[in-house]
């Protein structure tokens, strides 16, 4: 048995991180994965928000992970950023990886155990929101949805390309059939990408990638309300099991799953209070 504990969209809630790491110890999980939106959104200016996110990563999240790793040396924590996280702070995760505190897996595929790899991808298909650090079109000539704001916010220069092209490159780094993918955006037209208007807003490129490559498992976040709207935190595309645990915000519950990667019929969902 190889247990993976997965969650996403913690948005800077330190208590949620503490519950997650406590659950990892209780379950004796072999690994933890966090699928993006690590930080909160506090601050009156963009400069403040960037600074506050960096401070949260450096002063709260990473010290928690460091303490966990000191007590649980064989357990790895894998993380990606999400579209609410400022991309300029990705270097904080990369530095923590150099110090062996976590694995920053965006655009990488690394060994999870002797049989499996884990790969990550942070970009999402365009949203109506201002922060565009982690947005790309699914495909080259896609239309962009109507925007709620006239301005765009980026902490770094725009990265060109498409989600489709990026995922194709990611698929070459390891055998997709033996890789689990942590992709912040859920696949389009599933039980995992439904917003309150009942529209499907997930990534068409992520769906195409899953249909083509048929990885063993994909783990998502981003659309907080989708499990409530659809009634399910998991779906299947062909033989691939896809999961979005969602977020119970504003309720004080951390949504997560424990997956036995050697037997995918054993997946348990939890709401940690």
- Per-residue pLDDT 10s for the chain (273 aa) are 999 999 999 999 999 999 999 999 999 999 999 999 999 999 999 999 999 999 999 999 999 999 999 999 999 999 999 999 999 999 999 999 999 999 999 999 999 999 999 999 999 999 999 999 999 999 999 988 989 888 999 999 999 999 999 999 999 999 999 999 999 999 999 999 999 999 999 999 999 999 999 999 999 999 999 999 999 999 999 999 999 999 998 899 999 999 999 999 999 999 999
Concatenating the DSSP letter of every residue in 199-266 gives -B-SBHHHHHHHHHH--SEEEE-S-TTHHHHHS-SEEEETTEEEEE----TTSS-EEEEEEETT-TT-
CA–CA gap between residue 37 and residue 103 (Å, rounded): 16
Is residue 62 within 8 Å of residue 96, measured between CB atoms? yes
Give Cα separations from 138 to 125, 203, 228 (angstroms).
Answer: 6, 7, 25
Q: Where are the alpha helices (DSSP H) in the chain?
A: 14-27, 46-56, 62-71, 90-98, 163-171, 204-213, 226-230
pLDDT score at 214: 98
Q: Which domains does the chain carry?
A: 3-272 (3.60.21.10)
pTM, rounded to two decimals: 0.97
């Amino acid at each position: 048995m190889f247990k993976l504990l997965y969650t996403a969209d913690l948005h800077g809630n330190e208590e949620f991180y503490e519950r997650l790491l406590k659950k990892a110890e209780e379950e004796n999980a072999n690994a933890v994965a966090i699928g993006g939106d690590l930080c909160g959104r506090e601050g009156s200016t963009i400069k403040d928000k960037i600074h506050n996110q960096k401070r949260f990563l450096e002063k709260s999240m990473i010290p928690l992970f460091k303490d966990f790793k000191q007590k649980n040396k064989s357990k790895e924590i894998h993380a990606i950023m999400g579209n609410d996280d400022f991309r300029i702070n990705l270097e904080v995760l990369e530095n923590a990886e150099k110090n062996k505190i976590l694995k920053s897996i965006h655009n990488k595929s690394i060994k999870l155990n002797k049989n499996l790899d884990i790969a990550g991808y942070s970009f999402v298909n365009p949203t109506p929101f201002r922060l565009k650090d982690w947005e790309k079109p699914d495909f080259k000539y896609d239309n962009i949805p109507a925007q709620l704001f006239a301005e765009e916010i980026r902490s770094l220069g725009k990265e060109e390309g498409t989600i489709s092209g990026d995922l194709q490159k990611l698929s070459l780094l390891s055998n997709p059939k033996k890789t689990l993918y942590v992709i912040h955006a859920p696949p389009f037209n599933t039980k995992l990408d439904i917003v309150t208007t009942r529209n499907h807003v997930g990534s068409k490129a992520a769906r195409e990638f899953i249909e083509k490559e048929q990885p063993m498992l994909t783990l998502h976040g981003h659309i907080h309300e989708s499990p409530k709207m659809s009634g399910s935190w998991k779906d299947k595309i062909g033989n691939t099991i896809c999961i979005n645990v969602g977020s119970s915000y504003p309720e004080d519950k951390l949504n997560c799953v424990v997956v036995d990667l050697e037997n995918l019929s054993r997946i348990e969902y939890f709401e940690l209070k």
